[in-house]
Amino acid sequence: MPVTREMFNDVMVPNYNPAQMVPVKGEGSRVWDQAGKEYIDFAGGIAVNCLGHCHPAMVNALQEQSQKLWHLSNVFTNEPAIRLAKKLTDATFADRVYYANSGAEANEAALKLARRWAIDVYGEKKQKIIAFTKGFHGRTFFTVTVGGQPAYSEGFGPKPGAIEHVPYNDADALAKLIDDETCAVMMEPLQGEGGVVPPAQDFVKQVRELCDKHNALLIFDEVQTGFGRTGTLYAYEQLGVTPDILTTAKSLGGGFPIGAMLTTDAIAEHLKPGTHGSTYGGNPLACAVSEAVFDVINTETVLEGVKQREALIKEHLAAINEKYNVFKEVRGKGCLLGAELTEQFEGRARDFLLAGQEHGVMVLVAGASVIRFTPSLIIPEEDIKEGLKRFEQAVAQVVG
């Protein structure tokens, strides 16, 4: 049966509005659509395809595991799940891992754990969760309510309670709101969906201090920043602050769905048998692929390479801006970069994305006025150059 983009409109729930072309094949940082047109991929499946498309290490891991064992449920454990957990705990502050299938699910687990921990240790009154305006933590009802964009959580009836927000990078506002009834503060160590907003100098340290003062857990949502994206395995390593709970997904599977929550022994013990779970969490296929991704990513070569790519992309974007004067600021870290448009182009990020597609380059937006770049962590230099050449053509078209 021939498949067309038009069919999407007939058979799919209309919550998405995908591009007019349908991609059919990817290799490294290049993608082809049904018509055979080639695209340079700076979107990376929204910061997921950290090794590009069909990386041989991932293909091999998936093929090998697919001939051994696909699924068991958590009635049994499996070798890839344990091996990956050992690698994740050896490489981070954490002692223990809980597996999920997505970022939202990892965050759901983190939030439920924080509440359970607080109730067990301090009693029923310690329930308040504080998060940040424009933060994004997923689309389950709990996580979307903790997220800082009310538009996403409204219109579904009563929301989970005891959740409050303060502006990102405003330590004073947090200091006013946090108290001994706060069980957790959840934050991204660099806001992704909210516009690629880095933390201000010392902000994260101030958040950590306030959490310590009030015995609240600090949860880092590293779903987007994690797994090498900012040039270290996790972004917290560069901030001089260690969270109590960390969530990771997106790049963790490099394109195979998996999420995880990492925490310490003392906190983990509050998720006793029966308190939480997932049928697919720790699925051997997902864990085998993730392990292969980890082995490639967690090396000096790749992590240093991320910083070089950041410099190269920023340099090219600055050159484009010299000519067209479209960006107010280019910011972000590693392979998570955002170009905020000047007032003249405010609200038009999507026009640049669409023009990019026309010219054979995939980019993302982060809100209405920020163009986001989240390419593969190992994107070749020639693909960066070619992709930005195409992006420049797109800019020229929009500027007119």
**On the CB side of 390, how many CA atoms lie within 13 Å of its CA?**
22
Region for 195 from its dihedrals, namely left if φ exceeds 0, alpha if ψ lies in -120 to 50, beta otherwise:
left
Q: Kindly provide the b/e burial profile for residues 194-209, where b requires at least 16 CB atoms within 10 angstroms of the residue's own CB.
A: bbbbbbeeebbebbbe
Among 104, 218, 320, 370, binds ligand PLP (CB under 6 A): 104
Which of the stretches 99-107, 172-180, 200-208, 342-350 binds ligand PLP when contact is defined by CB under 6 A? Answer: 99-107
CB 227 within 8 A of CB 250: yes
Site mask for ligand PLP (CB under 6 A), range 233-252, x = bound: ----------------xx--
| Alpha-carbon span 364 to 22, nearest angstrom | 16
Residue 192 contacts ligand PLP per CB under 6 A: yes
**Has 374 been labeled as part of a binding site?**
no
Catalytic residue among 41, 250, 352, 391: 250
**Has 223 been labeled as part of a binding site?**
yes
Binding to ligand PLP in span 151-190, by CB under 6 A: 188
Whether 250 is a known active-site residue: answer: yes
Whether 41 is a known active-site residue: answer: no
CB 262 within 8 A of CB 92: yes
Report, in Å, the least distance between residue 136 CB and ligand PLP. 5
Which of the stretches 103-111, 270-278, 328-336, 372-380 binds ligand PLP when contact is defined by CB under 6 A? Answer: 103-111
Residue 138 contacts ligand PLP per CB under 6 A: yes
- The residue (of 33 and 221) whose beta carbon lies closer to ligand PLP is 221
- The residue (of 136 and 352) whose beta carbon lies closer to ligand PLP is 136
In 3D space, the residue among 309, 250, 345 whose CA is nearest the CA of residue 42 turns out to be 309
Residue 224 contacts ligand PLP per CB under 6 A: yes
Site residues (CB under 6 A) for ligand PLP? 102-104, 107, 136-138, 188, 192-193, 221, 223-224, 249-250
Residues designated as active site: 136, 221, 250
Binding residues for N(2)-acetyl-L-ornithine: 139, 278
